[in-house]
Amino acid sequence: MTIIVTGAAGFIGSNIVKALNERGITDIVAVDNLTRGEKFANLAECEIAHYLDKHEFIRQVREHILPFDNIEAVFHDGACSDTMEHNGLYMMDNNYQYSLDLLDWCQDERIPYLYASSAAVYGKGEVFREERELEQPLNVYGYSKFLFDQVVRRRMEEGLTAQVVGFRYFNVYGPREQHKGRMASVAFHHFNQYREQGYVNLFGGYDGYGEGEQSRDFVSVEDVVKVNLFFFDHPELSGIFNLGTGRSQPFNDLAAATVNACRAAEGKEKMSLPELVSAGLVRYIPFPDALKGKYQSFTEADITRLREAGYEEPFYDVEQGVSRYVQWMLEKF
């Protein structure tokens, strides 16, 4: 049985490939765009059966000529995740139309389809529950994900031929995101800031929040992969689900967790946030004008539907997940 993973050399996709390998599954077709060739490193320690360029894959999907038999599932994690990308023509073609063509093909072929949506569909909302009236994206990236979710909802109402599951990822961090540059997680940037300059930067007060107190639902990619595989194991389940921890934590917590994990590796004692600030290890910078009015100061996934679907595993909190991530980076870089 063959499994197709799009965005396979990317952040979440490569972690899914690695997790499938750990189950002994290697009959994997990895789909990606390696114009930025450094992404190959994410697949170098993985076992795959075949690599296919994204554009060739899309052509074969649209013509219904993919040469693979007995496809067990498609994990669709290939997308542009740059929230600052303003080219709507590109974004809608890459995130919306690509996803739609793949959905049509999977439904025609009766293949389970597990795809990446995003918490960006909620915009500046304060309640993050999978309901239409709560969804108001702030940018064309969020809109591209939002619009595809609407198509999926209509298809589910009309009746599906195979499983379709959308995951609204919140703030994901963890191994194999180093190629993402400025779009990599704050944990990744804090790790590098601390190693290069001996301290980390956080945004100062904004939108009614104090210094470093803007708060997000930070979720480890390890947990993201576990949820993906749970639904892979339960093809009878379909729907759109928030994928976060259900727990919002301030950026101060993330900074403290990152610095303390680095300090632990140096044989140094853990410090409280006030101690880290006093020592100049956590510093605050003015909130950027470019982000004002376009920034989610608070997110927290309502994971009621995920739990109702039967997923019972606990999620790492920031201190646990970041500590594991820092250890991985110290071993790799």
Task: Identify whether 311 is a catalytic site residue.
Answer: no
Marked catalytic residue, from 180, 206, 209, 284: 180
Q: Which residues in 172-182 are b (16+ Cβ under 10 Å) and which e?
A: bbbbbbbbeee
- How far apart are the C-alpha atoms of 192 and 198, rounded to whole Å? 9
Helix, strand, coil share of the chain (percent; to 5) = 45, 15, 40
Q: Is 261 exposed, middle or buried (0-12, 13-18, 19+ CB in 10 A)?
A: buried
Q: Which helix (H) or strand (E) holds 174?
A: none
**Paired tokens of 214:** 């803007």
**Residue 310 half-sphere exposure toward CB, CA atoms < 13 A:** 12
Alpha carbon distance 76, 57 (integer Å): 12
Q: Quick check: is 124 catalytic?
A: no
| Identified catalytic residue from 96, 122, 141, 194 | 141
Angstrom distance (rounded) from CA 126 to CA 5? 33
Residue 94 CA to residue 36 CA, distance in Å, equals: 16
Token representation of residue 59: 């052509």
Closest to 164 measured CA to CA, from 155, 173, 176: 155
State the catalytic residues. 141, 180
